């Protein structure tokens, strides 16, 4: 069985990532999606990656979200 079925699962993954991001208290979290003929652009106004976030993205099962509540992601795979 496939971990993620379907050819457009990456869209759901990117939306999930935006939802799980860290935002400054004074900011209204915003996700912007722009589609063109040969590209799709996702952008948001998150705080950005910390060193721990980058290391977690490069590993399996090393999520910085482990043990926290309020996050959608749960497989520990990240965007791989």
Looking at residue 16, its pLDDT comes to 84
Q: In sequence order, what DSSP letters do the residues of 39-63 get, joined into one string?
A: -EEEEE------HHHHHHHTSSS--
The verdict on pTM exceeding 0.75 is no
d(CA 55, CA 57): 5
Query: What tens digit of pLDDT does each residue of 24-48 get?
Result: 999 999 999 999 999 989 999 999 8
Q: Burial code of 64-75, b = ≥16 C-beta within 10 A, e = fewer?
A: bbeeeeeeeeee
Looking at residue 39, its pLDDT comes to 92
């Amino acid at each position: 069985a496939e971990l993620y079925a379907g050819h457009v699962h990456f869209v759901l993954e990117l939306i999930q990532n935006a939802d799980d991001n860290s935002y400054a208290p004074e900011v209204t979290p915003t996700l912007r999606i722009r589609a063109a003929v040969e590209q799709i652009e996702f952008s948001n106004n998150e705080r950005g990656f910390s060193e721990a976030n980058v290391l977690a993205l490069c590993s399996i099962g090393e999520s910085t979200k482990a043990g926290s509540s309020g996050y959608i992601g749960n497989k520990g795979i990240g965007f791989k």
